[in-house]
Amino acid sequence: MITEKRNLKYKINWKDAREGILRERIGGAKLRFDPDVKTKSASDFSKRIKEGEYEYGRKATEVFSGFLDPSMEVLEIGPGPGTVTVPLSKLVRRVTAVDLSLRNIAHLEENLREEGRDNVDVIHENWLRTDDEALRERYDLVFCSHFLWMIPDLEGHLAKMENASRRYCAIIQPAGRGRLVKDVYTEITGREYAGEFEPDGDYFAYVILREWGRLLNVTHFSFTNTMTLEEKVRSTASFIGRFVEVDEGVAERIRGLVRPHADANGVFVETNNVVAMWWEVGDRASG
Ligand SMILES: C[S@@+](CC[C@H](N)C(=O)[O-])C[C@H]1O[C@@H](n2cnc3c(N)ncnc32)[C@H](O)[C@@H]1O
């Protein structure tokens, strides 16, 4: 739904900050230590999201529970392996899930089958190229989770979300990074951690949406993940690799740096935070 955007005389200059972060991370992670790293990382991710019976996704749906109803049609942008899609599909009539990664779609379809879900339409498409005219006000809820760094034009993305919604929009975004990845960053790059992994994407979305006058419901939750040593190396490399190339030598150094942080069973247990915000698209704050 297209709603009015207020025009502010005084604004926070979030654009320079976001562009600076995107420039610094340009090209994504440079991972040369394993030719199969992308396939393995997608499979690690699909395994992780199912922990605690889809703990992350279940907690996201709890945030939506104030307004969800079983007749709803939902559009999810960038579902990945189904982190939120799978638990949400049990609570609403239909979910349409748009993702451009065939690798992730394969995991999503496998996870939907495993849970016996048949009310999810999986669409292999670039969200940024979807036709706004055809999507206008088609869904009761439009949301994305862990997606805000995937697109250069955040305002364009939020406007597209609102266009496709006849009622609610929501954003779920992991928040903050653990100490270990920051320490590894310092060891590998030789630079003190200077805030490179933060702020999180929700920070910018919040500022933009408030600029537009949207009234946001904001909350947060935490979830727990476990990783083997190799999973931890791949996950850590996916951050470090945005700043330096991770070849076999660097991967071995990462392995050495993280190994002492495993528990007695050699497993890494991490609790992470997530910010969730939702808004009613029809709501207009006065200017
Ligand atoms: C970090 S994953 C998040 C997956 C899941 N939503 C979650 O919360 O765990 C981001 C997903 O967005 C997808 N994606 C990135 N850019 C996209 C685009 N322009 N159109 C559709 N999907 C996109 C990626 O393929 C990936 O599956």
Question: How does pLDDT run across 242-263, given as a tens digit for each residue?
Answer: 999 999 999 999 999 999 999 9
Residue 184 contacts residue 254 (beta carbons within 8 Å): yes
Predicted pLDDT at 134: 98
Give the predicted TM-score (pTM) of the model: 0.95
Predicted confidence (pLDDT) at residue 285 exceeds the cutoff of 50: no
Residue 122 is which amino acid? V
**47-61 average pLDDT score:** 98
- Residues 176-219 pLDDT 10s: 988 999 999 999 999 999 998 889 999 999 999 999 999 999 99
pLDDT at residue number 2: 56
pLDDT at residue 284 in the model: 42
Instruction: Give yes or no for residue 201 CB within 6 A of ligand 1.
Output: no
- Check pLDDT > 50 for residue 6: yes
State the Cα–Cα distance between residues 110 and 196, nearest whole angstrom.
Answer: 35
What pLDDT is recorded for position 287? 39
Displacement of CA 27 from its chain's centroid (Å)? 18
Atom of ligand 1 nearest to the CA of 174: 8
- The span from the CA of 10 to the CA of 26, in Å, is 30
147 CA from centroid of ligand 1 (Å)? 6
Could you tell me if 123 and 164 are in contact, meaning their C-beta atoms sit under 8 angstroms apart?
no
Pick the CATH number of 14-280 from 3.30.830.10, 1.20.120.530, 3.40.50.150, 3.40.50.620: 3.40.50.150
Per-residue pLDDT of 221-241, as tens digits, reads 999 999 999 999 999 999 999
Tell me, using a 6 A CB cutoff, whether residue 100 lines ligand 1.
Answer: yes
CA 101 to ligand 1: nearest atom: 25
Find out whether the beta carbon of 146 lies less than 6 Å from any atom of ligand 1.
yes
CA 128 from centre of chain: 16
Task: Categorize the per-residue pLDDT at 286 as very low, low, confident or very high, splitting at 50, 70 and 90.
Answer: very low
